[in-house]
Structure 1
Amino acid sequence: MSMHSNKAVDWSSCDCTESGRCLPLEGICVASTADKLTIVVGDTHFSEEKTLLVQSCDYFQALYRSGMKECWQEEIHLKCLCARGFLIALAVLRGERPILDADEIVEAIECAAFLQVVPLTKHLIDLIDSDSCLLMYHTAATFGLMDLYHAAALFIRNMYRDLEAEVKKTLPSELISYVESLTPSVFAAVGAHVTCSVDETIHAASRTVCYLDEDGSNWKVLTDLPLEASTSMAGVTVLDNKLYIVGGVHGIHKQVVDSCFCYSVEDNDWTMIASPAQLRYNFSLVGQDGRLYAVGGEYERTAMSSVETYGVETGRWTFAAHLPRPAAGAACSTAMSRIFVCLWRPMQTTEIYEYLSGKDEWSLVTTLIRPQSYGHCMVGHRDNLYIMRNGPSDDFLRCMMDCYSLTTGQWSALPGHFANSKGALFTSVVRGDSVFTLNRSVTLEYAIEGKTWKPRSQMKGFPRSGSVWTFLLRLPNADKQTL
């Protein structure tokens, strides 16, 4: 591209600010020609809103800051790109979530890297699975799309037991070395504990976060809980490899704990974070895109519909849209970077809502009706939500499971009954194509094949009684004390 002027562009003299045609990005003006922009990729012409492209693509942001002559053109030619890759990018920018085949993945990665389309990169990360991870990893390395490169490498490392032969057959040595330099995520757990004073050393000894050493089939101690932390009816989740504990209760009268904590695995250190404006317990805590979401819960034995979100960078809580109705202990999960919650409605109805962050609203996704049964746990795998529910007649020693496809919008029931002694299946955590569950007696790993769960391995149970929180963490080293 040739320069329109050797002088810096003075946007302060632009007369379109009041008309709303200037973007709220420093130094950028898109009102010099038309609201629509024609993009020519090969022989294909695309007409798109200029503001959408500038707000979503670093390439176009840089272009309209540059002062080059293309800033005033109504048609821009993009060379060395495939039209289909650009079409996929536009679909994602409009809010679609297309499922891609191998050729489309390569072209989408090329487009995401060339135009620096962050939403497309995030969508590609959501699509990483055991079928596409090697292709994504190698292609992202080729085009320098580093966020996708790292995410695909972590996924491969988590499934290395299944993928090692194919990895060593298909990938260059430098890519293999990077995968092997990473540590896989481990299955971790913490029991339900109330706050503890310095004098209560007997109770303090059991207040530990532990992880499963799969090679030795042993549970090992990762860290002690802070004495002021409660995991009893608290919100517990992991975000960006940091463990968060929010709220909880202590005492027989369920007094709310207003201390909240964050554990950094890398630093092996606990820090306190701000408490939500609305104290709560028995709520769901979910982490997504740099934010925590405290969903529903109770206060003074009254169920609430309020939702608060915590910005990790800002360190502040703000209120988000309320749930459609009050809910305590609701099943929450994420899939494809989307947040979902199960709400019950008499009789025998489980409704799944999605939180739409862009609109700050909860949207009904689907409804499941089963006799005398409600969803108690929900986990996401690929574009599927798995709902674990009690058996008929409140038989909690059995567990039924249904799968909802976000892509097709269809429900399917998993065959058979799952033994759920002491709530084991309600502790489900997904890693790659495996699901880990536990109770005091046994830790079970299931392999997800199609839409079925098949037992894969059995390991030592978690040696703690009572309720258990489970999650995944990546450890910098595994030199910890055996529990």
Structure 2
Amino acid sequence: MEARGSLGLAGFPPAQDGGPAPGDGDDQPAGSLRVRVEDCWIAADRALLARHSDYFAALFHSEMADSRRDELHVRGGLSARGFLIMLAVCRGEAVTLSDPEELWDAVECAAFLQAEALTRHLCDAVDSANCLALYSAARVFGVHELYHAAALFLCDAREDLWEDALGSGLPEELLEYSRSLSPASFVALGTHTPTTESLSGAFRVVLHLDEEGEGGWRHLTHLPALCSTSLAGVAVLHNRLYIVGGVRGYGKETVDGGHCYDPEADAWSPVPGPAQPRCDFTLLGHEGRLYAVGGTHRGTTSASAEAFDVATATWSPIRDAPRPVASAACAVARRRMFVCFWRPPDTTEIYEYAAVGDAWTPLTALRRAQSYGHCMAAHAGALYVMRNGPGDDFLRCLMERYDLATGQWSSLPGVYVNSKGALFTARVRGDSAFTVKHLLTLVYRVTPEGRWTPRRQMRGYPESGSLLTGLLRLPRRRRGGFT
């Protein structure tokens, strides 16, 4: 049988109808079995299949004769290539899919075998090159999570993909569904300490970028009177904006507690603070939890970390960060959490935190001279670290790209540098990166090669002070302008 795609099948001998599978069943490792898919026999681990496939889990726990056999035949037209892709993903291997037939087979396998890990992998892999193909396949095979993820990407990357979508032959149903969704809006807020209701004023606000016309900032909501954004942790999780901790008063007393904004309800609600009061810390939202890492309290920098479960509204300790850290940059890429540590004067270290196993793992280190400042953003399978240059270049923003698949760093040309100041915040939506300063808001296109090229510029943020940013999907009635 000839090799197929990047996960070739040439090494798998064909099955023989009417005869045994190749090899002696007594020589199989404990817990393994041979699975016949199309005309190939493929070795697989029984426990792995049961853990990652509802189809196999149900089969192995049933009273059917097949549940106890060392050889299984998967019928129904499933492709061997799709099965191999599923096995590789379930084993945690780095799988990159580009061929349209591979994508189709993978989606079919995810649906037929009810393989959630493969579905999540495909959702994470949605990009401009494969979005339309995955959208169509997800509709055909009824993989709703992927269908929705691809529709959201098409909505967010409308500027780049909509013309292709119109000419691709996609059913009107798919176009209409993506058109009905809200794109992520760039939101920003300035630096404020708690105040009283009577003195809350017009400046304590959260604004969102109106991308229509010249592009300006529109009012979204007022901050609660007791909410601090000064040295606070800010994150978006499940399309809600969380502001936790911070400081108040001239003595910079640490604020206990936080607030959550729901754009759908246009309402704020209180959030309990972490057990360890902290300010100037990292707050990261991921898969139902907020992660608070490091920060300072009463002048002492900490390595402690906690996780907040939004379902139970409770904080619990997690493993300490590798060392004390304040104001560390962070990002999520491919459902993995990364925190960026700067060790003066020239070392940037990136660690990955895995909630499963509660472990910090060093990912990479980069040595580049710099003066101050760190920002990290993620696009596709890469991390982008932005920092100020050393010496006389302290107002230049330098950027490096780390490819998660190859483990390689590359320095990007300074096309994103502007005379208005350094880049300290960046949010990625689709293939666009949004950055903002007080004089100018800049939007870049992130190319398939990982370069940032200027897309357009709009008005800067109208308030002074440090800026905190995020992406929120706003209801149509509030965002306006997008049709």
TM-score by length of 2: 0.89
Query: Structure 1 pair 444/116, CA: closer, same or farther in 2 (3 Å)?
Result: same
| 1:99 has 2:96 as partner | yes
| 1:108 has 2:106 as partner | yes
Aligned to 1:411: 409
| 1:325 has 2:323 as partner | yes
Task: Tell me which amino acid in the other structure corresponds to 1:48.
Answer: A
Q: How far, CA to CA, are the matches of 1:73 and 1:375 in structure 2?
A: 60
Give aligned pairs, total: 448
Query: Equivalent residue of 2:265, what SS?
Result: coil
Deviation at 1:205, TM superposition (A): 1.8
Q: Percent identity?
A: 50
Query: Equivalent residue of 1:220, what SS?
Result: strand
> For residues 58-103 of structure 1, what are the alpha-carbon distances to aligned partners after superposition, in whole Å with 9 as ceiling and x for unaligned?
2122223443222222222112211111111111111123111122
Q: How far, CA to CA, are the matches of 1:348 and 1:258 in structure 2?
A: 34
Q: How far, CA to CA, are the matches of 2:476 and 2:235 in structure 1?
A: 21
Kindly indicate whether the alpha-carbon contact (under 8 Å) linking 1:130 and 1:433 is maintained by their aligned counterparts in 2: yes
Moved more, 294-303 or 423-432: 423-432
> For residues 278-333 of structure 1, what are the alpha-carbon distances to aligned partners after superposition, in whole Å with 9 as ceiling and x for unaligned?
11110111111121111111111111111111122232211112111110001111
Aligned to 1:72: 68
| 1:176 has 2:175 as partner | yes
Moved more, 60-69 or 265-274: 60-69
Aligned to 1:84: 81
Aligned positions of 1:4-43 closer than 5 A: 35-43=31-39
Moved more, 406-415 or 309-318: 309-318
Aligned to 1:457: 456
Q: How far, CA to CA, are the matches of 1:51 and 1:269 in structure 2?
A: 46
Deviation at 1:358, TM superposition (A): 2.2
Aligned to 2:211: 214
Aligned to 1:49: 45
Kindly indicate whether the alpha-carbon contact (under 8 Å) linking 1:399 and 1:419 is maintained by their aligned counterparts in 2: yes
Deviation at 1:468, TM superposition (A): 0.8
Query: Equivalent residue of 1:419, what SS?
Result: coil
Deviation at 1:209, TM superposition (A): 1.2
Kindly indicate whether the alpha-carbon contact (under 8 Å) linking 1:221 and 1:480 is maintained by their aligned counterparts in 2: no
Aligned to 2:472: 473
| 1:307 has 2:340 as partner | no
Deviation at 1:45, TM superposition (A): 2.2
Query: Equivalent residue of 1:107, what SS?
Result: helix
Q: How far, CA to CA, are the matches of 1:62 and 1:315 in structure 2?
A: 34
Kindly indicate whether the alpha-carbon contact (under 8 Å) linking 1:34 and 1:74 is maintained by their aligned counterparts in 2: no
Deviation at 1:229, TM superposition (A): 1.2
Aligned to 2:16: none
Aligned to 2:11: none
Aligned to 1:259: 257
Aligned to 2:58: 62
Kindly indicate whether the alpha-carbon contact (under 8 Å) linking 1:343 and 1:351 is maintained by their aligned counterparts in 2: yes
> For residues 138-165 of structure 1, what are the alpha-carbon distances to aligned partners after superposition, in whole Å with 9 as ceiling and x for unaligned?
1111111100100110100111122121
Query: Structure 1 pair 305/422, CA: closer, same or farther in 2 (3 Å)?
Result: farther
Aligned to 1:152: 150
Task: Tell me which amino acid in the other structure corresponds to 2:186.
Answer: F
Kindly indicate whether the alpha-carbon contact (under 8 Å) linking 2:415 and 2:452 is maintained by their aligned counterparts in 1: no
Kindly indicate whether the alpha-carbon contact (under 8 Å) linking 1:113 and 1:145 is maintained by their aligned counterparts in 2: yes
User: What is the RMSD computed on CA atoms of the aligned residues?
Assistant: 2.0
Kindly indicate whether the alpha-carbon contact (under 8 Å) linking 1:41 and 1:83 is maintained by their aligned counterparts in 2: yes
| 1:243 has 2:232 as partner | no
Task: Tell me which amino acid in the other structure corresponds to 2:205.
Answer: T
Aligned to 1:29: none
Aligned to 1:131: 129
Q: How far, CA to CA, are the matches of 2:135 and 2:444 in structure 1?
A: 26
Deviation at 1:272, TM superposition (A): 1.7
Q: How far, CA to CA, are the matches of 1:313 and 1:422 in structure 2?
A: 42
Task: Tell me which amino acid in the other structure corresponds to 1:194.
Answer: T
Aligned to 1:9: none
Query: Structure 1 pair 448/257, CA: closer, same or farther in 2 (3 Å)?
Result: same
Aligned to 2:231: 233
Q: How far, CA to CA, are the matches of 1:481 and 1:152 in structure 2?
A: 23
Q: How far, CA to CA, are the matches of 2:253 and 2:284 in structure 1?
A: 23
Structure 1: 5+ residue stretches without partners: 1-32
Q: How far, CA to CA, are the matches of 1:128 and 1:85 in structure 2?
A: 17
Q: How far, CA to CA, are the matches of 2:478 and 2:264 in structure 1?
A: 14
Task: Tell me which amino acid in the other structure corresponds to 2:309.
Answer: G
Q: How far, CA to CA, are the matches of 1:128 and 1:480 in structure 2?
A: 25
Q: How far, CA to CA, are the matches of 2:418 and 2:337 in structure 1?
A: 25
Kindly indicate whether the alpha-carbon contact (under 8 Å) linking 1:398 and 1:417 is maintained by their aligned counterparts in 2: no
Deviation at 1:199, TM superposition (A): 2.5
Query: Equivalent residue of 2:401, what SS?
Result: strand
Query: Structure 1 pair 424/212, CA: closer, same or farther in 2 (3 Å)?
Result: farther
Deviation at 1:347, TM superposition (A): 4.0
Q: How far, CA to CA, are the matches of 1:352 and 1:374 in structure 2?
A: 16
Q: How far, CA to CA, are the matches of 2:392 and 2:45 in structure 1?
A: 54
Q: How far, CA to CA, are the matches of 1:384 and 1:375 in structure 2?
A: 20
Q: How far, CA to CA, are the matches of 2:182 and 2:295 in structure 1?
A: 35
| 1:354 has 2:355 as partner | no
Query: Equivalent residue of 2:476, what SS?
Result: coil
TM-score by length of 1: 0.89
Aligned to 2:12: none
